[in-house]
Structure 1
Amino acid sequence: MGAPSRDPGEPLAGHAVMNTADVDEAQHVVTEVYVRHELDSLGGRPLDARLNCVASERMTLGYLVYGANASLDLPPLESCYHVNLTLSGNTRVTRRGGRDHAITAGGRSGAVLLPTEHSTVTWTPEATQFAMKFNRGPLEEHLGSLLGRPIHDPLDFDVTMDLTTGPGAALLAAVRFLQTEMDRPGGIAEAPLARAQLETYVMTALLHGVPHQYTEALHAPVGEDRPALVRRAVDYIEAHAADAFTVPQLARHLGVSTRTLQVSFARNVGVSPSEYVRDVRLARVHADLVAASPSDTSVTERAAAWGFLHQGRFSEQYRRKYGQLPSQTLRQG
């Protein structure tokens, strides 16, 4: 059976990667672009499946259609968050064995799947969605930059969001703007720096548009700025992350006692100076591996370049922060 024709006016039509009636082919392509899952067409009916998408190290934005009653079963995503903004039709989403559940409606709501939770998603034949994958590292680091402190735990987003008002509507508008620019000849697809800024804006809109455990801190009124001591310490750490230095040496450079530095970080950053240094260095390794070629890059060498000499400990710290081993990041980069 031939694949159905594509509407040239649909979002991201110039970035088509799938157009099929076959369930197995659709499962394979969507797994390659997003995450592994099991796909069933209820009743064994053929699909009218289409996927158009663009991807970067920060996020994947796709326009996804199954064109039939379809059911997806997804294990924990591990290294990413998946966000669906329903544009037409309906979907039903469950997480945590059904304890979290939502029904999304076109133009009104969407859903979030988590790195740590099993999920199911069922689609009506009319359902179309912006399907987005946000890699954990860039999203959590961006939240950390907004809060001024590292993020150590996966984000526990609510299962659904309202796209009709407030921050949810701003999220949908940001995604539509990114999609429009990617579709426009001469748009940001041809301007990498501008595209990065707009993708970062979409991440900000997501963090504000869907409640999570850091929402209160993110929306809190801006009060006193960090003490000058912490600002100076953070600036030094960011600039000298590749240098070998200890926390006592950092304290001496700043002209304070080690205890004073530790207390100031605990009160104003939420982690110790050594934890902050470690997270900055992990982020630098992650950025190197994402940008590198597996054929001429060694995880051991990149880790050592940023001060990680114990490979077993480094790999475990990296896995806890990014949800995958560094070798996996390198292969996917």
Structure 2
Amino acid sequence: MSVLFLTEQSLIFEFAEPQDVSNYVNKYIGRHCIVITDYRGVRASLSHRALADLDLCRITYGGSVRVSSAALNDVYHIQILLHGSCLWRIKGQCLRLQPGELIVINPDDPVDLTYSEDCEKFILKVPLKVLEDVCVEQRWAYPKHGIRFIETFYHLADIEGLAALLAMMCKEAESENRTYRVDKSYQYIFAAKMLSLLKSNVLRTNQDATIVAMLEKIDSYIDGNMDVRIEELADLAGVSVRVFYTLFERHVGVSPKRYIRGRRLDRVRECLADSACNIKSITELAFDYGFAHLGRFANSYRDRFGELPSETLMRRA
């Protein structure tokens, strides 16, 4: 890629032990673990700058590395492949990324990435609060269950002005004459661009506010009824089944059936993680939320959260 993201001014590690770089990433960029099958001759490099509440990072591990994490918790990652290739496993699918391609990782998305030996990435860490503040400032309808990016794969060249903005942010982060006010301005502009240019569940018009109200009504109905038919939800929204499917594909990014299943999985996870929730067994909890086939339930849970239900429960203990 020809766009310059961070220079040698920001170099923290050069030809370093991969685990030292990984420990630094854990501290500043996001919790993860790495697996390298052959450490011989492997040397990693990392550049890093903070810009207000954002973190900008350029990283290469110098060898074939598998990077994994259950979830990023309260941060989002914008990751841009600069060199080499990267295999991204998400929701049971595999996608091989090439230079110039961009992915968005939501806070509850499990991370499973395998870097090629020559892989180099630019990573931007965006705290949840930064996006929340933009929604408040712009008076955009904040989703009831949090901000989530629906489309998570892009070609950077197809996103108008984003590469140039990121390059300007990197240049400002390396400037000797920085001010916090300017840093915050860049942060606000980027967050607003992120929510405007990338497809998310943040709804930004009066018409969209009506969609938000409809989704909140549907959420309440799903939570209160284990046996939910699509026809019932369409009646609740006051539209035909065909229009209902169209609304979901356009504004939520998934089919109604997948949305219902995901919402029930979310409720199961909340209960497993909450020490105040009395659980007799995972099997009984799954049945309570309408999952009759335990094998498919466990696979769906792992695809959504990056771990098995038993692992969530063990972590609570």
Aligned residue for 2:122, secondary structure, equals strand
Aligned partner of 2:191 in structure 1 is 203
> What one-letter code is carried by the residue in structure 1 that aligns with 2:121?
Q
Alignment of 1:118-267 (within 5 A): 118-157=110-149, 158-165=151-158, 168-186=159-177, 190-214=178-202, 217-218=203-204
TM-score (normalised: structure 1): 0.56
- The aligned residue for residue 10 of structure 2 is 15
- Contact 1:83–1:133 under 8 Å retained in 2: yes
* Alpha-carbon displacement from aligned partner over 1:59-90 (angstroms, at most 9, x marks no partner): 11111122221110111111111110122222
Stretches of 4+ aligned residues off by more than 6 angstroms: none
**What is the match of residue 76 of structure 1?**
71
Count of residue pairs the alignment pairs up: 212
Q: Which residue type is aligned with residue 124 of structure 2?
A: M
Using the TM superposition, give the Cα deviation of residue 54 of structure 1 relative to its aligned residue in structure 2, in angstroms: 1.5
Secondary structure at the residue paired with 2:157?
coil
Change (3 A) 1:87 1:169: farther
The separation in 2 between residues aligned to 1:57 and 1:185, in whole angstroms, is 15
Give the partner amino acid of 1:106: P
Output one character per residue of 1:224-283: Cα deviation in whole Å (capped at 9) or x when no partner.
xx9xxxxxxxxxxxxxxxxxxxxxxxxxxxxxxxxxxxxx9x97xx89xxxxxxxxxxxx
**1:184-235 superposed Cα distances (whole Å, 9 cap, x missing partner):** 443xxx2211111012111122223322223xx33x5x78xx9xxxxxxxxx
**Tell me, which stretches of 5 or more residues in structure 2 are unaligned?**
218-273, 275-317
Partner of 1:260: none
Asked if the contact 1:88/1:105 (under 8 Å) is kept, the reply is yes
| Deviations 1:154-198 (CA, angstroms, capped at 9, x unpaired) | 332222112112xx2422221111112223443xxx221111101
Are the structure 2 counterparts of residues 118 and 177 from structure 1 closer, same or farther at C-alpha, using a change threshold of 3 Å?
same
Pair 1:90–1:143, CA change in 2 (3 A)? farther
Distance in 2, Cα, partners of 1:40 & 1:78: 21
Aligned twin of 2:42:
47
Partner of 1:242: none
Q: For 1:15 and 1:35, how far apart are their aligned partners in 2?
A: 18
Which residue does 1:102 correspond to in 2? 95
Q: Contact between 1:66 and 1:127, CA under 8 Å: does it hold in 2?
A: yes
Give the whole-Å Cα distance in 2 for the aligned partners of 1:41 and 1:59: 28
Aligned partner of 2:123: which letter? A
The one-letter amino acid of 1:75's match is A
Distance (whole Å) between structure 2 residues aligned to residue 10 and residue 212 of structure 1: 25
Please give the secondary structure, in 1, of the residue aligned with 2:170. helix
Which ranges in structure 1 are unaligned for 5 or more consecutive residues?
1-8, 227-263, 272-315, 317-333
TM-score by length of 2: 0.58
User: Which residue in the other structure is 1:283 paired with?
Assistant: none
Q: Which has the higher contact order (CA 8 A, sep 6+)?
A: 2
User: Taking structure 1 as reference, are residues 176 and 10 closer, same or farther at Cα in structure 2, changes over 3 Å only?
Assistant: closer
- Do the aligned partners of 2:79 and 2:104 also contact (CA within 8 Å) in 1? yes
Q: 1:29 to 1:46 in 2, by over 3 A?
A: farther
Distance 2:139 2:29 in 1: 28
Q: Is the 8 A contact 1:39 1:72 kept in 2?
A: yes
Distance 1:129 1:136 in 2: 22
* Cα distance change on mapping 1:146 and 1:89 into 2, 3 Å: farther
